[in-house]
Structure 1
Amino acid sequence: MAKGYWVSAYRKINKPEQVQEYSKLATEAIKEHGGRPLVRGTAAMTQGYGIKERTVLIEFDSLDQAIATFNSAKYQEALKVLGDACERDFRIVEGIA
């Protein structure tokens, strides 16, 4: 079974303290559902339209697990805290087996 991944690329952070609070709550939800952070930080290099801002990559054992975590009540609460604190590009993608 292929793994599932959350990919978040932040374009702009307007309220860092709010993003930090979201991050705490989101991390709890992710860990509870078996997610593992692989990348969390500012890009070392960008190209094309890349923005040198925060990037996060979370690995799950399956795509279904990644989607279920996103839809969980705990993660949805974290998203409410995040609100308009940032502009980010978020995706859930399936790994290559």
Structure 2
Amino acid sequence: MAAYFIVRCKYHDMDNYKKYAKAAAQAVNAFKGRFLVTGKGVQSQKESGQYPKTVIVEFETMEIAIACYECELYQEALSHIEHSADRDFVIVEGLETS
């Protein structure tokens, strides 16, 4: 069953964000993740709060999604935005399709 990174975020330092984005994309690609949404063309609603950017990444399974998040490359990517971003990050399992 597929699993997804769902990230709502606001970045305060674009140089650090670019470093994060490059390393995070490498980690996602290494685990055969697929970017479904990258925050372009967002229509924010009143309920959406403080996060102007949303990213959704699909993985084949929950185990693969967790392994990607925990891998050294992704953790290194996170170090670039540790003090320069506000984020809400969850990993969710998709519905079984049959």
Normalised by the size of structure 2, how large is the TM-score? Answer: 0.89
> Residues 69, 30 of structure 1: CA spacing in aligned structure 2 closer, same or farther, 3 A cutoff?
same
- Aligned mate of 1:38, from 36, 39, 49: 36
1:43–1:54 contact (8 Å) kept in structure 2? no
Misfit runs of 4+, over 4 Å = none
Matched, 1:87 2:77: no
RMSD of aligned residue pairs (Cα, Å): 1.4
Q: 1:44 deviation in Å?
A: 2.6
The residue that corresponds to 2:23 in the other structure is 25
Instruction: For residue 79 of structure 1, give the secondary structure of its aligned residue in structure 2.
Output: helix
Question: What number of residue pairs does the alignment pair up?
Answer: 95
Aligned partner of 2:12: which letter? N
Give the match for residue 95 of structure 2.
Answer: 96
User: What is the alpha-carbon distance in structure 2 between the residues aligned to residue 34 and residue 92 of structure 1?
Assistant: 16
Percent of matched pairs sharing the same residue: 33
**Structure 1 segments unaligned to the other structure (5+ residues):** none
Could you list the runs of 5+ residues in structure 2 that have no partner in the other structure? none
Structure (1 or 2) with the greater strand fraction: 1
Specify the SS of the correspondent of 1:49.
helix
